[in-house]
Structure 1
């Protein structure tokens, strides 16, 4: 039993107030908790900002040059596209929050997060100004947007780790319910 499980008195159902933690059987609760709540903060903050003109105008060049997302400007306009993305990001945060106690939502939120960062990493290839010509061009990247986008690689890794743990947790839960029949 990990330190956190001991402090929370998490057991395999013997405790009268059964606390479900999606990833409890696949590694350190502490580490997966750090990943989950860090992603929640990012999605709440960034998602909320998508409802401001400042953020809508800030992300407009990324969307405009994206082969996957440029249609959003055509359909919703600059502000509307930002708000659609904001709704998706806040929904991802909500799924991750509920996923702290419900394994299905943990996997759903982590999958949504994974998709978000896979898409934003494509901006690395489609957005002008990523390579820094004054430093010799690629692989030298600009501070913005190059380095700004590159940090999404770490967020993608965090999302994939949480997704893997969540899916393992779901699989183990299904296996336990089949064994208990």
Structure 2
């Protein structure tokens, strides 16, 4: 079956827009949650087990650290969404998001609660399942960064 190139290009354009604005919405929504006390409780096991974040935790405290993380996520999400107006800024936001998701993926190695104990071979716990989806978000961040950089070169 032969599909017209216009259909493929339309799907590609729609796919990139869905990735871009879905990524931005995720970051904005999750960043906003960092201002809620229950979210501070949710991220506690992740940040206390992380060598980097445990040091920041000592200096800032849980609530301030959560807010710094939240503001960082919301800035990245806002920049990603700004692509039509500021593609270079959007690329910066996407690269920042890639850093965010690479960091959260590192929690798989530092958080004991990410793995189920006593199961023989390693199996992800509920926390680990939550973290592993960041592989897809990392890939989306890299794709939106590349697309924004290309758009920035055309302007």
Please indicate the TM-score interval, normalised by the length of the shorter structure. Answer: 0.7 to 0.9
- 2:49 equivalent in structure 1: 65
Q: Which runs of 5+ in 1 are unaligned?
A: 7-26, 174-181
Q: Which residue of 2 aligns with 1:107?
A: 91
Candidates 100, 114, 125, aligned match of 1:116 = 100
Structure with higher helix content: 2
Decide whether the 8 Å contact of 1:99 with 1:109 is kept in 2. Answer: no
Q: Report matched runs for 1:12-161 at 5 Å.
A: 28-138=12-122, 140-142=123-125, 144-161=126-143
Q: Is the 8 A contact 1:51 1:82 kept in 2?
A: yes
CA distance in 2, matches of 1:120, 1:40: 17
Deviation at 1:145, TM superposition (A): 1.3
Structure of larger gyration radius:
1
The normalised TM-score by structure 1 is 0.75
8 Å CA contact 2:45, 2:113 repeated in 1: no
Size of the aligned set, in residue pairs, is 150
Cα distance per residue 1:106-160 (max 9 Å; x no partner): 201111110100000000000012222343241x211x21111111111111111
Shift of 1:163: 1.2
**2:30 and 2:47 mapped to 1: Cα distance?**
15
Scaled by the length of structure 2, what TM-score is found? 0.87
Distance 2:85 2:13 in 1: 12
Q: Which runs of 5+ in 2 are unaligned?
A: none
